[in-house]
Each structure stands twice: as C-alpha cells, then as structure tokens.
Amino acid sequence: MNIELLAVAELAARDAGQIILAALNQPRRPDYKGQTDLVTKTDQECEDLIIKHINSEFPGHSILAEESGAQDTKSDYQWVIDPLDGTTNFVHGYPSFGVSIACLRSGIPEVAVILELPVNRLFTAVKGQGAFVDGHKIKVSNTETLNESLLVTGFGYDHGNKWEANMKLFKHFTDKSQGVRRLGAAAIDLCHVACGFVDGFWEFDLKPWDMAAGILMVSEAGGKVSQLNGINIDIYQDHILATNGNIHEIMLEHTKPVLESLL
C-alpha cells in the first residue's frame, strides 16, 4: 500500500511543482491572510490539483490541507498537505520553497514527499524504508558538537511571545554554533536536516502541514525529532526540534527552558 501512496504523492508534488515553476515567470500578486502571511492563487491551484490526485486514487481518505482545511472521512489514512511552503519566498523569487505532502495512518506518518523548488529536488520517505533525494538514499550529518554545527530556524507570522522567545534562542545558538540560517520554508529546512546540509532545525508556531512530511524525512534519514521540550513530536503541537541526533540533547538544554518560560 505504501508504494501506491508514494506514487500518488510524487505525481501530485511534481504536477504542483510545474504550476509553481510556471508561475515564477509571471507577476505574483499576493493576498494577505495576516499582516505578513501571504497567499497566492498558485497556493490554491496547487492544493486543488493535489487533492484531485488523491481523491481520484483514494476517494475514502481524509485530507487536511492548508488552504481548504479538513475533509474528515473517518478513514485510517489522512493526507496532510502544504501545497506551497515558503509562499513569501515564492512571491519574492527567493529560492527556497516547495510542496509538502504526507500520508498518515492512524496519525503516524507513513509516506512523505517534499519537492524543493526552484532546484527541483524530490525528497521522499516511506516509514521503515529510509529517505531519498531524487532516488538516492540520504542520511543526516554526523556532526558531534554544537560548536561544529550549522543550524536553521524560522520565525512565524505572529510577532508575539513565541517570536520573542525565538529571538533569544536565535541569539544563543548563533553564538554557540557555526551559524543559524533562516530561509523561510519549514518543510525545506527539515529536508536540509535530513540530507545533512544543516545539523539541526527548530521552530515555534508551526502548523501540521509545515511539519508532517518533514518529520518522517528526518526520522527516516536517521535523525531525531521531538517537541522543543523533548516530548514526542505531535503535529498538533506547534513546535519542533529536528536534529542529526548527536546534538539533540544539547539543543534541548536550551530550547526546553525557553519553551517552559512561555507557559
């Protein structure tokens, strides 16, 4: 079954990727979901197309998608879709955005596909079978210490307490590591942990569709994923720490108290 799920997710991601790449050659006018939370007609077009693919192959499955919300059929299978992760980057032409599609069974990610654009790198993972980029097996880095690490984070659209808390972590980890990148597409950041470009990623204020596929990608690439306090990852809790495993505990020493200070 997972192979069929993967095939549909891949096809849907590739088709959505074509729409996004074509839109890069045209003016991209955003609408605003919030002051800095952008959405374009491309987000909606891609989502409609991905859902069409899923509905035609698996009409009974549940769907949770960023722009259209939840279709709950009570199936064991649920697709979690971010049709365009990194919309702000896409609008500006900054080259870090993509399509993220996960299929969960009884709440556990089974299959993940993330298409990184505009580079067109296809990340795939199936539970228990490893993670791949363009068909080649990938694994997380083997960096052992924080001071040898390159990290990445993101800042949500809501500039409240969590945003302030993340500024503190950003300062701390910038001081203690070889640098902290901030690219603006959480699903892509997670792929970069999975393939070892960076050693760790953390973020507050994410949504299930930002994380679902990336969580499986990092786990299947041999990394570790948890909430910012070390508790098992839960896509309905809005924070994540994903690392190569080696630096997980040391990062938790800093993320945990900052998270607790928000409670």
In the complex with ligand IPD, the residue whose CB is nearer, 87 or 243, is 87
- Span of 124-132, 136-144, 205-213, 239-247 interacting with ligand IPD by CB under 6 A: 205-213
CA distance 191 to 183: 12
Q: Which of 12, 77, 82, 97 binds Ca ion (CB under 5 A)?
A: 82
Q: What angle do CA 84, 224, 251 make, to 5 degrees?
A: 100
State the pairing for strand pair 38-39/31-32: antiparallel
156, 204 Cβ separation under 8 angstroms: yes
Q: Quick check: 238 binds ligand IPD (CB under 6 A)?
A: no
Cβ-closest position to ligand IPD = 154
User: What's the min distance (Å) between Cβ of 156 and ligand IPD?
Assistant: 4
Tell me, by CB under 5 A, how many residues bind Ca ion.
5
Q: Quick check: 169 binds ligand IPD (CB under 6 A)?
A: no
Q: Quick check: 210 binds Ca ion (CB under 5 A)?
A: yes
Cβ-closest position to Ca ion = 85
Q: Quick check: 208 binds ligand IPD (CB under 6 A)?
A: no
By residue count, the chain amounts to 263
H or E stretch covering 193: helix 186-194
Q: What is residue 189's three-state secondary structure? A: helix
CA distance 178 to 73: 47
User: Could you tell me how far CA 5 lies from the centroid of its own chain?
Assistant: 19
Q: Per CB under 5 A, which of residues 85..144 are in contact with Ca ion? A: 85
Q: What is residue 39's three-state secondary structure? A: strand
CA distance 152 to 174: 10
Q: Quick check: 87 binds ligand IPD (CB under 6 A)?
A: yes
- Span of 3-11, 46-54, 85-93, 141-149 interacting with ligand IPD by CB under 6 A: 85-93
Q: Quick check: 203 binds Ca ion (CB under 5 A)?
A: no
CA distance 91 to 152: 21
Q: Quick check: 154 binds ligand IPD (CB under 6 A)?
A: yes
Q: Quick check: 82 binds ligand IPD (CB under 6 A)?
A: yes
Binding site for ligand IPD (CB under 6 A): 82, 85-87, 154-156, 184-186, 205-206, 210
